[in-house]
Amino acid sequence: MQNIDLICVGKLNAKYFAEGVAEYQKRLAAFASFRIVELPEEKIEEKNASDAVVKKALDKEGRAILGSVRKGAAIVALCIEGKQISSEELAQFLADRANSGAGDVAFVIGSSHGLSDEVKRAAALRFSMGRITMPHQLARLVLTEQIYRACTINAGMKYHK
């Protein structure tokens, strides 16, 4: 069974997001070993922090992210400059990984400041969910649903229309 991890900086605070993620996490159990790893966001005290302060925080978060990735897993970094792909293309990416013999995948959602350059460089795929801006908690729910959708596509189920 394929290992699919969702590594997130920050916690789900809103009950409705947590319930939605939990529902798709439960559904995903039929297709993959799916786990969510929550890492703490680095606190930046200054409201208008310098680029150097933000970079230092991102670098620390990046080390924690990379330390949480399973050995050999393909990293999928969610970032604004990433490639926009369809649900079918995401399904194909997961299928290709599963069929390669090195099937583990780690999706990564960074903090409100984004992801470190080190994480982006390590990514097999830089993925963007579009040009819109959304809260990270909502991004986690949408991504979890899309991973579930990709798994149902690969299984030939009717969920995807």
Residues in the annotated binding site: 78, 110, 129-134
Residues in the annotated binding site for S-adenosyl-L-methionine: 78, 110, 129-134
Phi-psi region for residue 156, left (φ > 0), alpha (ψ -120 to 50) or beta? left
Task: Let me know if 131 is exposed, middle or buried by CB neighbors in 10 A (0-12, 13-18, 19+).
Answer: exposed
Asked if 83 and 53 count as a contact pair (C-beta separation under 8 A), the reply is: no
Task: Let me know if 85 is exposed, middle or buried by CB neighbors in 10 A (0-12, 13-18, 19+).
Answer: middle
